Structure 1
Amino acid sequence: MVSEHQLILVTGPARSGKSEWAETLAKRSGKSVLYVATAQIDTSDREWQQRIEQHQQRRPSTWQTLTVPIALAETIQTAPSNSCLLVDSLGTWLANLLEQDEATWSKTLHNLLESLQHATSDIIFVAEETGWGVVPAYPVGRLFRDRLGMLTRQIGAIAQPVYLVTGGHVLNLSTLGVPLEKASVERRNFEL
């Protein structure tokens, strides 16, 4: 259940149920939910429209939807403290910014992480896991995969809890796993 000023990360592969789990957590928060949709609407892409409509039909009518393809840090900074932001998804947000050079992307990422440090609302992020397959054959695919992996890792390091949803099952990685930094320290102690 979401408590006051909580940051949650829900990650998993495509069609795993991660958005549905994030929606369940948002409902349980008992707070006013702001659904932060990062997708850009493209009316010429019917299949994409159908995906968006599926998500819209699942959401309660009491939730306010904000379309935020780029200004995510600003949205987090201005969110009311009694609200729960459900950001779906980090991968789509990143795709909207993929043309940024490394310096600009680094600043964008810094601004997002900085906004999380000062957030007063609950935030639930949905993130896609894209790095479990083959290395993409094209540079832009590798760039997307690498940036999303690092973004998810950085948010996962500060989120509590972190969930993995796969095969229609939810795993709480915060209780089942060990953070990477802590695992490295434990491994070094074991080797001594």
Structure 2
Amino acid sequence: MDNRHLVLVTGPARSGKSEWAENLAGQSNRSVIYVATAADYPEDEEWQTRIQAHQQRRPTNWQTIHAPMDLAKTIQAQPKSICLLIDSLGTWLANILDQEAELWAVTLETLLKAMTQAECQIIVVGEETGWGVVPGYPLGRRFRDRMGELLRQIGAISDQVYLVSAGYALNLKALGIYVTPMVPLDGPKRD
């Protein structure tokens, strides 16, 4: 981790991505600050159980910061000497999903700028979506589309990108070829 500035860990639900990110943070040889993006819903017992499971896995010497909305500002405020573990992008995105397209574009640009200018090490966890059926309602499609855009843009600026599935982590930067947005996703056009 010492030579890596920005690491993206992505994958489906319950794949082991948070555990892999926590493992990387623990190997960073730096003080770790865990950024929890979840809003607290005390009346939701199942949600509280999930939060407690995350808390119990983390070492007691890790500091926790709650940043459900202004993630860029949280990143900018961190000293060079730490490893910042952000978990998760999907939860953060859900908190601001009601932003109109213009504001979302500014929010995304501000976040990317904060990540590229940060002096600390950053490990960020993000959920993969859209591997199945297109959501049948507009807000679901907005979440899926924005999450895909967010992961793709963070992946492009990351030093390492891991896909975690079924408990196994694959280093996509070492194994894959980045598809630039200028290349049509459906292949070359035929005459």
TM-score range, shorter chain: over 0.9
Structure 1: distance between partners of 2:86 and 2:67: 9
Conserved? CA contact 1:5–1:121, under 8 Å: no
SS in structure 1 opposite 2:42?
Answer: coil
Q: CA deviation at 1:176?
A: 0.8
Name the residue aligned to 1:48: 47
Structure 2: distance between partners of 1:105 and 1:182: 19
1:40-189 correspondence to structure 2 within 5 Å = 40-181=39-180
Q: CA deviation at 1:181?
A: 2.8
SS in structure 2 opposite 1:179?
Answer: coil
Structure 2: distance between partners of 1:50 and 1:182: 40
Runs of 4+ in structure 1 off by over 2 angstroms are: 181-184
1:16 aligns with 2:15: yes
SS in structure 2 opposite 1:181?
Answer: coil
Consecutive unaligned residues in structure 2, runs of 5 or more? none
Consecutive unaligned residues in structure 1, runs of 5 or more? none
Using a 3 Å threshold, how does the CA distance of structure 1 residues 5 and 76 change in structure 2: closer, same or farther? farther
Deviation sequence 1:22-72 (CA, Å, 0-9, x none): 000000001010000000010111101100100000000000000000111
Q: CA deviation at 1:179?
A: 1.1
Using a 3 Å threshold, how does the CA distance of structure 1 residues 140 and 183 change in structure 2: closer, same or farther? closer
Structure 2: distance between partners of 1:5 and 1:84: 11
Structure 1: distance between partners of 2:2 and 2:96: 31
Structure 2: distance between partners of 1:150 and 1:182: 10
One-letter amino acid matched to 2:104: W
Q: CA deviation at 1:15?
A: 0.1
Q: Larger deviation: 2-11 or 60-69?
A: 2-11
Structure 2: distance between partners of 1:128 and 1:181: 21
The two structures have a TM-score, normalised by structure 1, of: 0.93
SS in structure 2 opposite 1:157?
Answer: helix
The two structures have a TM-score, normalised by structure 2, of: 0.93
One-letter amino acid matched to 2:99: Q
Structure 2: distance between partners of 1:17 and 1:89: 13
Q: CA deviation at 1:5?
A: 5.9
SS in structure 1 opposite 2:39?
Answer: coil
SS in structure 2 opposite 1:180?
Answer: coil
SS in structure 1 opposite 2:69?
Answer: coil
Structure 2: distance between partners of 1:104 and 1:87: 22
Structure 1: distance between partners of 2:45 and 2:105: 33
Conserved? CA contact 1:5–1:119, under 8 Å: no
Structure 2: distance between partners of 1:102 and 1:48: 29
